[in-house]
Amino acid sequence: MGGFIMAKETFKILICDDSILVRKKLKEALSLCSTFEFLEAGDGQTAVDIYKKEKPDLVFMDLVIPVKDGITAVKEIKEFDDDALVVIASSSGTQENLKKAIKAGAVEFIQKPWEQEQLENVVKKFLKKGE
Amino acid sequence: MFTQYFGNYLLNKGYLTPKQLHEGLEQIKDTRLKLGVLAVNAGYMTAEETEKVNEAQKKHDKRFGELAIEMGYLNEEQLEELLSSQKLGHLLLSQVLVDKGIMTLQEFEKAINEYKRDYSISDEEFEAIQKDDINEIVNKFTKFEGSKNETILKDYIALFAKNLIRFIDREAVITEVTKLEDYECQFAALQDIKGEISLATYIETDEDSFIKFASKYAEEDLTSLNEMAEASVGEFLNLHNGIFLVNISNQGIELKMTPQEVYRTIKVDNIYKVSFDLSFGKINILIKEG
């Protein structure tokens, strides 16, 4: 695949997690699926701001994050862009959090620690190349 | 885990010297068999299937055998057979000690009986403990005096021990639980759990152990207490507390947690300090009830 086509087919992914380790590991794991342009946020407010400015193709959002929690951030992103694709990646997959995430408009909930297969499935499902 | 407990008991009772215990524990390391290895050896599972169960174990608070059945790799009968053929760690230790002439078989028998009596362990409980049933070990060897949530704290610590073994160090052993009015933390990751049950939780240790702990969880060779090391220990606590919240949620109690933070030299009061020995140092988990 040539560089020109790759550039046209490169998706933008925003990763919001307060842990620099999680952001790094998630970038590494997603990079095994394809080539992406990554954007990073360490808190919910920064994620909303970056989303509005950059309109990424997919968002990975933690729930327990500083400044603005993940659910509130998802709601604000969805208010701004109803087509936004937000995947929750959290260690706290309680029934309550699952319900809140779905209600807020998240399209998927991945409980940490994630498996590579789960990430591959998300990429396949939401980021179809050439479409 | 029980092997270390029993080894320490033998040490404290004067059956062994520290050097003899260390050598004995070192010698059994290579001979301990995992259920997955036994399953592959028996032709019941492929190596790939055991890997899948190991991965699933990182997310579900369940034993290897239980998950292997759920995932359709083993049936009950096969599991029973494998469990009965699995070598028991403390027996391996005893065998090593008897073989080396450090103890006689009669002394071993006497020590086992004393052990059961000293800790008021029934035969049924001993059966569970010697199979490294962590819930039973924590239930029998830890006490949270004065706590109104003792059962929940025991569940919390049992889960923490399991997560330590899964992600950090399979030789992790709980050494003591103490209640302290004042304590000065050296390096600590902190996360609050809030709701019907409120707990402030800390992973606390010295600088060297903090960096080694962080390296293990991050699966990277970290050499200083930098942002990545802080993030690593903090994320382990976050992961553990997240799984704890899921377990509690399944009992119908919804709790929340705050973002994790890392501190240096902070003072805390009225805490339970649960200490763990790891292969590379010691760590404490501190719990303050709200």
How much helix, strand and coil, in percent to the nearest 5, is found in chain B? 55, 20, 30
User: Do A20 and B231 count as a contact with CB atoms less than 8 A apart?
Assistant: yes
Q: Which of A20, A112, A113 minimises the CB distance to B228?
A: A20
What pLDDT does residue A2 have? 33
Q: pTM score, two decimals?
A: 0.77
B194 interfacial to chain A (CB closer than 8 Å):
no
Q: Say if CB B192 and CB B258 are below 8 A apart.
A: yes
Residue B26 burial by Cβ neighbours in a 10 Å radius (0-12, 13-18, 19+) = exposed
CB contact under 8 A, B55 and A22: no
Q: Is B225 an 8 Å CB contact of chain A?
A: no
The shortest CB-CB distance from B259 to any of A21, A66, A111 is to A66
Instruction: Give the one of A18, A64, A111 whose C-beta lies nearest to B257's C-beta.
Output: A64
B29 in A contact zone (CB under 8 Å): no
Across the A:B interface, residue pairs with CB atoms under 8 Å apart total: 59
* CATH of region B155-289: 3.40.1550.10
Series of mean pLDDT values for 10-residue runs along chain B (290 residues): 77 83 76 68 80 86 89 91 68 73 77 81 75 80 88 94 89 88 96 96 97 96 95 97 92 92 94 94 95
pLDDT at residue number B91: 63
Q: What is the pLDDT of residue B34?
A: 67
Using only the alpha carbons of chain B, give its radius of gyration: 20
Where are chain A's structural domains?
3-124
Decide if A92 and B257 are in contact by the 8 Å CB cutoff: yes
pLDDT at A115 over 80: yes
Q: Collect contacts of B149-153 with beta carbons under 8 A, ≥24 apart.
A: B149/B197, B149/B289, B152/B197, B152/B248, B153/B272, B153/B287
> Between residues 47 and 76 of chain B, which touch chain A (CB distance below 8 Å)?
55, 58-59
When scoring B226, B246, B253, B260 by the number of chain A Cβ atoms within 10 A, the one with the most, hence best to mutate, is B246
Q: Which ipTM value was assigned to this complex?
A: 0.89
Of B232, B239, B254, the CB nearest to A112: B239
For domain A3-124, give the CATH superfamily.
Response regulator (3.40.50.2300)
Interface mutation target, options B160, B217, B245, B260, chain A, most CBs of A under 10 Å: B245
Q: Do B55 and A66 touch (CB under 8 A)?
A: no
User: If pLDDT is split at 50, 70 and 90, which confidence band does A6 have?
Assistant: very low
Looking at chain B, the domain(s) classified CATH 3.40.1550.10 span 155-289
pLDDT at residue A1, as a whole number: 34
State how far the Cα of B250 lies from the Cα of B243, in Å rounded to an integer: 11
* pLDDT given for residue A5 in this prediction: 35
Q: What is the pLDDT of residues A65-112, one digit of tens each?
A: 999 999 999 999 999 999 999 999 999 988 889 899 999 999 999 999
pLDDT digits (tens, 9 = 90+) for A25-67: 999 999 999 999 999 999 999 999 999 999 999 999 999 999 9
Q: How far is A92 from chain B (nearest CA, A)?
A: 4
pLDDT of residue A20: 97
Q: B196, B237, B239: which to substitute to probe chain A, counting the most A Cβ within 10 Å?
A: B239
Interchain CB distance below 8 Å, B259 and A22:
no
Beta partners for residue A37, in sequence order: A12
Q: Which residues contact A63 (CB under 8 A, 6 or more apart)?
A: A69, A70, A71, A88, A90, A92, A97, A101
